[in-house]
Amino acid sequence: MVLNLRLRAETTLEAYLPAEDQSELPEAVRALVAGDGDVPQLFLWGPPGTGKTHLAQAACHEAGAHGLSAAYLPLAELAELGPAVLDGLTSVQVLAIDDLDRVWQERAWQEALFGLVNEARTCGGRLLLTALSRPETEQVGLADLRSRLLWGPVFRLRALDESRLRRMLQAGAMTRGFRLGDSETDYLLRHAARDPNSLLALLDRLDTASLQAQRRVTVPLIRTVLEGA
């Protein structure tokens, strides 16, 4: 089965902005990829927009930078294909599985995930797993799978506060080649959805609009883009 999945270029550990008091997260992912520590598995959970997908893809970027094989599986997109998408992945050195909660109520997926975690451990693979809720949730009906999901450190990701959203927006604008001033940043935070994924997608639209109109990104341009959404 050929999966057409690509990592976003900006989802690196260097570009990741953790919530307050969670600065250890990038280093935890680096240690996982490097094979440091006794347990080569991380579980990240939290609501949408807290950076789970960013860190999952960042683990794969980090693996590639060190010459390791890696695969990223967003189960929100792949669930309909069935657990066969997990076949043959135990030879991958770093495997990031996003959105586990999309499938972990289904018995066939539970059994496939249980087997994958066991085989990855036997083969020396590293796993980064994400979900909306804790791994010991009763939604995971297979008790053995629940125990396997707790084999490594578990982190609860928190949403960014306003100061970090501002930093994310202004840094994201710089990487796209334009400057976002304080007034423009304030306007975005007042009038746009405040989750990081939506804001970063909006930066892409602003960049395109700015280039097409040959105009700087100003509040009037932002207003025009938002009204055209």
Tokens representing residue 97 in the block: 């599985």
Low-confidence ranges of the chain (pLDDT < 70): 1-5, 229
pLDDT at res. 229:
62
3-class state of residue 202 by DSSP? helix
Domains in the chain: boundaries? 24-156, 162-227
pLDDT at res. 143:
87
Longest dimension (CA), the chain: 58
pLDDT at res. 1:
40
Class for the domain spanning 24-156: alpha beta
Q: Tell me: the pLDDT tens digits for 149-197?
A: 998 999 999 988 899 999 999 988 998 999 999 999 999 999 998 888 8
Q: Report how far apart, in Å, the C-alpha atoms of 138 and of each of 46, 144, 174, 193 are.
A: 17, 12, 44, 32
pLDDT at res. 72:
95
**Contact indicator for 29, 59 with CB cutoff of 8 Å:** yes
- Is 162-227 a domain of CATH 3.55.50? no
- Say if residue 87 is exposed, middle or buried (CB neighbours under 10 Å; 0-12, 13-18, 19+): exposed
- Say if residue 53 is exposed, middle or buried (CB neighbours under 10 Å; 0-12, 13-18, 19+): buried
Q: What is the C-alpha to C-alpha distance for residues 148 and 139, in angstroms, rounded to an integer? A: 15
